[in-house]
Structure 1
């Protein structure tokens, strides 16, 4: 590892979104660039919908390697790009942009980052049945990626059942190997439904600040030891849901891996090099 020194050959990578002051992305990517002695620098830019086109044009003019796109720009960016990956087309949003000699290509690494986190924790997607709570941006990406990667069945629940229906329609119309069923929170017996699935995934803000004391399940009694419970919330690392899952004897998967893996996949798109994931995990968790 060498000290990262910006010079005349350093290529820019950016984050376009608002608000972005709390993001961990610059720390994560710049630590990886420095560790691997790569000539890149990652900066966060406060950019909303109204200035997004100008920001992307600026990245092209500056020959930036690309950028991450976060709220509120993940869907607004779609018509501004020249090409979309298969996942980005199905998911309908982009979180990573590659500048390929002036051609902007959009990717979505959120769902794949979640799947990589499952795999890293010994959970195989193929053939399994999932209950995914939350059909918003993250839930949509996770559910569609699970279907792409071989999930047998997905039960998608949300307080907005129209949102869940739309995501399930996308899955059922495009991925023949997976059956997706929508439902509205509170209109079915969650405890009984959990007995019919292999993995429970929380893609809602419940458990994250300022909702740390909330969970999609009311008590550990609703869970059973054979169930795998995953949360995409990573702050706090152990959410109320995961605490109850541990109490019930379930295997648990925290959200920190998804955050790191979605970044690692973007890192590979820009640089062609694998991010040192274990090192970055230590950095993010504060042990280095």
Structure 2
């Protein structure tokens, strides 16, 4: 990778962030496409967020990615918001274009691009059951609605049900897609909705320990369903191992990580990220 006086900068901004795989993905993309850019990780306190955003224009950066805890804090600094960022109420990508900062959210887009590329699944007129509706879960829900899903079933802990119901009602009003929220403790109802679904998604961190299952061990999965987990470490969560043992197609969160990055890279540069070759390198890192 050549760095010279014409090299433009991109970065991921959060705290903590030094563990991020994003610099590897984007610098691979810059190198393989020949785009003269470099991508770094900035671990900053919230007190430096405003000046960091100002520096995007000051230094003519491509833009930045935003991770927790700043996805909502950056909203007031944006000149424009894309539909996905507006619906989700959070920004994970800032695009610097024509002197303006455009707030975008690529999480849901990346999730469905990974499904399309890796399993040929398309969400239009499909029924989804999603477990959890935090940051990533909400992005997936909003993008599914934007992409024309038929029905979205959300299962959440009873303690946080009301807030999720309010957001679901807002999304329904804006998109016309039927979105219903249920307590995850109602296992019989969960089983009923899974049997009616084309896609089951775990958008929680349950299973990251490598041993905890998010659904009951006696849960029945329809043979045509796809089971997705946004976790990618471990590479196969207990949920995915269970689904695979039942002969069901599965996908983990590594594709979401790659394709949300691809969406940002393409918005910044106008070039297509070489996801096939970067995917192979990512698998080696995660398995390594």
Residues in 1 aligned to 2:69 and 2:4: alpha-carbon distance in whole angstroms:
32
Counterpart selection for 1:99 from 89, 96, 101? 96
Residues in 2 aligned to 1:95 and 1:221: alpha-carbon distance in whole angstroms:
34
Task: Please give the per-residue CA displacement for 1:89-112, whole angstroms capped at 9, x wherever unaligned.
Answer: 011001100112431111000001
Cα RMSD after superposing both structures: 1.5
Partner residue in 2 for 1:185? 184
Q: Structure 1 residues 140 and 161, CA, compared in 2 at 3 Å: closer, same or farther?
A: same
Comparing 14-23 with 191-200, greater Cα deviation is found at 191-200
Task: Please give the per-residue CA displacement for 1:170-218, whole angstroms capped at 9, x wherever unaligned.
Answer: 2211011x1000112203522222112221111000122xx22112112
Task: Please give the per-residue CA displacement for 1:69-91, whole angstroms capped at 9, x wherever unaligned.
Answer: 00000000001111000111011
The structure in which a higher percent of residues are helix is: 2
The answer for unaligned runs of 5 or more in structure 2 is none
Partner residue in 2 for 1:25? 22
Partner residue in 2 for 1:65? 62
SS, match of residue 126 in structure 1: coil
Is 1:137 the equivalent of 2:135? yes
Q: Which residues of 2 match residues 1-288 of structure 1 at below 5 A?
A: 4-120=1-117, 121-159=119-157, 160-176=160-176, 178-189=177-188, 190-208=190-208, 211-219=209-217, 221-286=219-284
TM-score under structure 2 length normalisation:
0.94
Task: Please give the per-residue CA displacement for 1:43-62, whole angstroms capped at 9, x wherever unaligned.
Answer: 10012322111111122211
Higher RCO, 1 vs 2 (CA within 8 Å, ≥6 residues apart): 2
Residue 234 of structure 1: how far off its partner (Å):
1.1
Residue 220 of structure 1: how far off its partner (Å):
5.4
Residues in 1 aligned to 2:104 and 2:171: alpha-carbon distance in whole angstroms:
18
TM-score under structure 1 length normalisation:
0.94
Q: Structure 1 residues 267 and 9, CA, compared in 2 at 3 Å: closer, same or farther?
A: same
- The count of residues paired between Structure 1 and Structure 2 equals 282
Comparing 278-287 with 265-274, greater Cα deviation is found at 278-287
* Runs ≥4 residues deviating over 6 A: none
